[in-house]
Every structure is written in structure tokens, then in C-alpha cells.
Chain A
């Protein structure tokens, strides 16, 4: 079945540690890929998106993601996390009329 999967359910890091959250999708052809973040008690916010071109995309708050077509992956990275990055992170594919989201990864950053 076509889906979006995220490798980690819960990631716990100390401040200044590097972050990589995995995302894989099973859709063929051209895909539009997104990462959203949901801070505690808040709505989902767009971190970054990939449509085409440079497979390394930069988003807000120092986040970036790399699209690797051969691996059907779109992993999210940040060189040095902060306590304020504690949130839920969702990878998603846009199918033209709606999104299909992954199950989310909870990131807890310890001060």
C-alpha cells in the first residue's frame, strides 16, 4: 500500500546534539514532499518542502532535508538542536488534493 513511514517514534537528544529524522515514502513518480512541525498545543506548521531541483532543501529554524530518490527517502536534519525544538515532526506527501502524513516522530530535547 502507498504510505509514508517515519523511522523513529520518539527521539531524545541533549541540546546541541545533531538531529536526523528518517522518512520514507512508497509513492512512485513525481512526489511533493513536506516536513511539518507541531509544537505542544499548537497547530501544524510547515518546516520545508521539496518539489524538484536541488535535493537538499533548507527550511525555517535551521532545518534542512535531503531527497534521495533512489531510496525513496526525505530525511530531516538539524546540526544542533535546541530545547525549543521539542515537538512532533510529520513527514508528508502531497497527492494533488490532499496530504498523506507519516505517523510522526516526537522529539524531546533535554536542556
Chain B
């Protein structure tokens, strides 16, 4: 069983569209994260949720909206996609805030054309 699973693995879409990426973890962790890896391979934190509560919200355009229906799921919805949104998005989970024991998903490669 995959501990942190993301869907889809690849996503190609046109500018202006709205898309969602889903993430689920079966580890019983309380905290989940979204990281973005840009074209220069820098991995940066976008959001973190602890038991459905937003903890970290870095400087991310309002077009990005995370949603956590329960502590096992953290989805990322992106409105009005732009070319610059093309990146690999990684979901991760950890036992709690302040825990370094991350488990990462395999990533979703988003390409905006």
C-alpha cells in the first residue's frame, strides 16, 4: 500500500483552466503538506494542515486553494492556471507539526500549455 498517494501523476492542461490534485495518506499522520518544485528544482513549502486546520500558508497566489476534508486528505485546487504554475507538486505527511518525519508522495507533474 502506498503511504502517501497523489493523483494524477501527470496533468497537462491549458491556461485558464481550473484543476485539482488529490493527496491521501494512510499513515495516521496529523499533518499534511504541499510543496512545489519549480523548473530549477527548488522545493518550496506552499501549505501545511494539521488535523484539517491550516498551519502554514506561504506566499502563494490566491488561485491556489488547499482543502482538507479530513486529516487523511489534502487536496490542492488551482484556478485560472498560468504557464508559471507548471511544476512538480509534492504532497507529504508527518506525525505532527514540528515533526521532521516526513513521508512524501511521488509528485504530480503539472504542465500548463
Using CB atoms and an 8 Å cutoff, list the residues of chain A in contact with chain B: 32, 34, 41-46, 49, 88, 90, 92, 94, 96-101, 103-104
Given known contacts A41-B106, A42-B106, A44-B104, is B43 in contact with A97 (CB within 8 Å)? Answer: no
Contact partners of B4 in chain A: CB under 8 A: 43
Contact partners of A88 in chain B: CB under 8 A: 41
Docked Cα-Cα span, A45 to B106, in Å, equals 10
Majority SS at the chain A contact face:
strand
> Which of A32, A92, A97 interacts with B56 by CB under 8 Å?
A97
Contact A90 B43 (CB under 8 A): yes
Given known contacts A32-B100, A43-B4, A43-B106, is B48 in contact with A98 (CB within 8 Å)? Answer: yes
Docked Cα-Cα span, A41 to B97, in Å, equals 27
Contact B98 A103 (CB under 8 A): no
When each residue 67-106 of chain B gets 1 if its CB lies under 8 Å from chain A and 0 otherwise, what string results? 0000000000000000000000010100001101011111
Contact partners of B98 in chain A: CB under 8 A: 96-97
Contact A44 B41 (CB under 8 A): no
Contact partners of B106 in chain A: CB under 8 A: 41-43
Contact partners of A104 in chain B: CB under 8 A: 41, 43
Docked Cα-Cα span, A100 to B43, in Å, equals 7
Contact A97 B107 (CB under 8 A): no
When each residue 10-49 of chain B gets 1 if its CB lies under 8 Å from chain A and 0 otherwise, what string results? 0000000000000000000000010100001111110010
Shortest C-beta distance, A32 to chain B (Å), equals 6
